Amino acid sequence: MTPAIELIHIDKRFGAVHANKDVSLSIGQGSIHGIIGENGAGKSTLMSILFGFYAADSGEIKVRGAPVKIKSSSDAIAHGIGMVHQHFMLVDPFTVLENVVLGVEGGALIGPALTKARSELKRLAEEYEMDVDPDAVVGELPVGLQQRVEILKALYKGAEVLILDEPTGVLTPDEADHLFRILGTLRDQGKTVILITHKLREIMAITDHVSVMRRGEVVANFETKDTSVEELAEAMVGRSVLLHVEKGKASPGEVVLDVKNVTWRDRKNIARVDNVSFTVRKGEIVGIAGVSGNGQSELLDCIAGITKPASGEIVFEGKSIGQLGDPRHLRQEGLAHVPEDRQHRGLITAFDASESAILGWQFEDELGKGFRLDRDAVIANCRKEMQDFDVRPADPLLRSGKFSGGNQQKIILAREMSSNPDLLIVGQPTRGVDIGAIEFIHKRLIALRDQGKAILLVSVELDEIRSLSDRIIVMFAGRIMGERDANATERDIGLLMAGVQKDAA
């Protein structure tokens, strides 16, 4: 059968960075083809060339055997190629229907396009089990439904080939399972799916074929049924990778963080954090497990001093956070924060890496005096952190938004962990991060714990919570459902995450 997509000798440079090196790849029709590799391996660049965001410096693209020129996303869509990006391309104030027709209105009058789209959207939603209210405002939908809108948008525009870039990075386990059912249905109906992901178990569960990229090149191709997680991991990073966390027993010391009966309410006066109490001690990692949206994010904001609780008290090293003041003063007291949303809170994508690497610390004496930064010192600081945390490319002057998601995460982690904090609060530390970088980040967190630091960890990855944490707190609907030690079973924690107490279960 003629391949759905052929990429032939694709080469692409961004200045000194050789992102794609003579890449050739063939993707079969009616299959799910996985592309894996470390952050910065060139996966997203390659798919961006296929979708017309970038132009290759050299090489050829064939769609169903025919050579094509793809100079824009409009060209890609015209050739039946759709893409769901890691960070969704949706207009939040628009409805689902308005987002779907955006760019294909078909004339000056929007009414006929909306009428046509409503009917077609209903058909697609039924055919692929993607129910979503066409009149819902996209910005008010949970991320799982927003992703469905992106897929429906591509199908509405006639996509026969669907590219998904890290599609489960923002999904709960149940949402990810539903996505895989959707992808299986698409494949069964003859669509071709290209899946970019760092999660090897997902590759093993859903794909038919998998290609491995490393440092801009395709280094291996496998039939998924003929390979293993271990073989894929080694092909990705060029060495054996530790797939589990090695750590000794914790030696907790005095209490560093004491959260006392904290409640936080939203604008509708709904308690998103409801009477929460717990402690974190020196030399331990306390993990907060829970399905995304159950109050973990709001709780971290309260502890970081970004928002103020409606009631209760948060005490850091014997001092009330309310008295300590804003996040800047909390940093000076020894509280570091890795936010869950790296692009909107962790860095400024328009800044170069050296500037993002000092956010929150720009007034430190070693970086300048008064309001004037020492540019050489800022760049030197970034270069050292990049070396320590293996950021790729190690270019302090590259714009933050040009780094892959995993390398953006490393820039933030380097900034916060290099400050030698007494307490590190970290949200989703490995979201969108490849397996080699996950191993690196986990080792760094354990090392920080073993130095006697206190760590509060929030992650939707239950495996990560269970393997890193010394104690596990489970949240549901803003409340703490229970606390477990590191030996708790996945089923036990999963029931608490679903709001089911052990006795009731």
| CATH number of the domain to which 96 belongs | 3.40.50.300
Is the pLDDT assigned to residue 503 strictly greater than 70? no
pLDDT of residue 272: 93
| Same domain as 163, residue 212 | yes
pLDDT band (50, 70, 90) for residue 504 = very low
Give CA–CA dist 97/134, Å, rounded. 5
Whether residue 108 is predicted with pLDDT greater than 70 in this model: the reply is: no
**pLDDT above 50 for 261:** yes
Q: What is the mean pLDDT of residues 77-88?
A: 88
172 and 307: one domain?
A: no
Mean pLDDT of 207-213: 96
Angle at 142 between CA 141 and CA 147, to 5 degrees: 90
- In a shared domain, residues 100 and 208: yes
Cα 312 from Cα 335, distance rounded (Å): 20
Which segment of 239-248, 250-259, 314-323 scores lowest on mean pLDDT? 239-248
Three-state DSSP at 239 gives coil
DSSP letters spanning 137-184:
BGGGS-HHHHHHHHHHHHHHTT-SEEEEESTTTT--HHHHHHHHHHHH
Residue at a domain's end among 181, 208, 237: 237
Q: What does the pLDDT read at residue 199?
A: 79
Task: Give the DSSP letter string of 329-372.
Answer: HHHHHTEEEE-S-IIIII--TTSBHHHHTTTT-TT-GGGEETTE
Check residue 222 and report its DSSP letter.
Answer: E
Give the integer Cα–Cα distance in Å for 321 and 326. 8
**CA atoms of 276 and 439, how far apart (whole Å):** 31
Residue where one domain finishes, among candidates 237, 268, 299: 237
> 157 with 198, same domain?
yes
Chain segment 375-402, per-residue pLDDT in tens: 999 999 999 999 999 898 899 999 999 8
C-beta separation of 68 from 48 below 8 A: no
Q: How far apart are CA 495 and CA 505, in angstroms?
A: 8
The answer to whether the beta carbons of residues 362 and 415 sit under 8 Å apart is no
Q: Give the DSSP H or E segment for 487.
A: none
Give the type of residue at 6. E
Q: Are 161 and 195 in a shared domain? A: yes
Q: Write b or e for each residue in 272-303: b if 16 or more Cβ atoms lie within 10 A of its Cβ, otherwise e.
A: bbbebebbbbbbbbbbbbbbbbbbbbbbbbbb
Domain span holding position 9: 5-237
Q: Are residues 299 and 195 in the same domain?
A: no
Structure tokens at 257: 């963080």
Do 102 and 179 sit in the same domain of this protein? yes
Residue 217 shares a structural domain with residue 284: no
Q: Looking at the structure, do residues 107 and 34 belong to the same domain, yes or no?
A: yes
pLDDT at 109: 66
Place 437 in a pLDDT band, splitting at 50, 70 and 90. confident
Most confident of 230-234, 404-408, 444-448: 444-448
Region 90-115 average pLDDT: 82
Q: Residue 143 pLDDT more than 80? A: no
What's the chain's average pLDDT? 89
- 8 A C-beta contact, residue 281 and residue 252: yes
| pLDDT range class, residue 170, cuts 50, 70, 90 | low
Residue 9 and residue 142 share a domain: yes
The answer on pLDDT for 169 being more than 70 is no
User: Which long-range CB contacts under 8 A does 236-239 form with residues at least 24 apart?
Assistant: 236/36, 236/37, 236/38, 236/41, 236/212, 236/434, 236/435, 236/436, 237/38, 237/434, 237/435, 237/436, 238/214
Question: Would you state the pLDDT for residue 236?
Answer: 87
In a domain? residue 229: yes
Looking at residue 54, its pLDDT comes to: 93
Give backbone dihedrals phi and psi of 278, rounded to 5 degrees, phi first.
Answer: -170, 170
- Band of residue 505 on the pLDDT scale cut at 50, 70, 90: very low
pLDDT of residue 31: 96
User: For position 140, what pLDDT does the model report?
Assistant: 85
Residue 223 covered by a domain: yes
How many domains would you assign to the chain?
A: 2
Domain assignment present for 44: yes
pLDDT band at 141 (very low <50, low <70, confident <90, very high): confident
DSSP state of 194: E
Q: Is the pTM of this model over 0.75?
A: no
Q: Which residues contact 183 (CB under 8 A, 6 or more apart)?
A: 32, 164, 193, 195, 206
pLDDT digits (tens, 9 = 90+) for 26-61: 999 999 999 998 877 899 899 999 999 999 999 999
Same domain, yes or no: 60 and 164: yes
Domain assignment present for residue 366? The answer is no
* Residue at 414 is within a domain: no
Give the tens place of pLDDT for each residue, 319-357: 998 777 788 889 889 999 999 888 888 999 999 999 999
pLDDT at site 201: 82
What is the Cα–Cα distance from 259 to 240, expressed in whole angstroms?
A: 41
Q: Is 236 within 8 Å of 36 (Cβ atoms)?
A: yes
| pLDDT classification of 243: cutoffs 50, 70, 90 | low
| Bond into 393 cis (ω within 30) | yes
Strands 32-37 and 192-196: parallel
Give the end-to-end CA distance of the chain in Å, rounded to a whole number.
Answer: 51
Residue found by looking up tokens 């149940």 in the block: 174
Cβ count within 10 A of residue 58: 11
Regarding whether 265 and 169 lie in a shared domain, the answer is no
- Max mean pLDDT range (288-292, 418-422, 497-501): 418-422
Considering the domain boundaries, does residue 388 fall inside one? no
pLDDT-based confidence at residue 173 (cuts at 50, 70, 90): low
- The neighbour count for residue 367, using CB atoms within 10 Å, is 17
> Residue 303: pLDDT above 50?
yes
Last residue of some domain: 205, 237, 269? 237
What region, left, alpha or beta, does residue 368 occupy, with left being phi > 0 and alpha being psi -120 to 50 degrees?
Answer: left
Those residues with Cβ within 8 angstroms of residue 209's Cβ, 6 or more apart along the chain or in another chain = 27, 28, 31, 32, 33, 34, 221, 222, 223, 224
- Highest averaged pLDDT of the listed ranges 144-158, 422-436, 442-456: 442-456
- Between these two residues, 163 and 372, which has the higher pLDDT value? 163
User: What is the signed CA dihedral for 198, 200, 202, 206, rounded to 10 degrees?
Assistant: 110
Q: Does residue 352 lie in a domain region?
A: no
| Nearest-angstrom CA–CA distance, 77 and 263 | 48
- Count other Cβ atoms within 10 Å, centred on residue 92: 12
Could you tell me if residue 428 is inside a domain?
yes
Average pLDDT of the segment spanning 353-373: 88
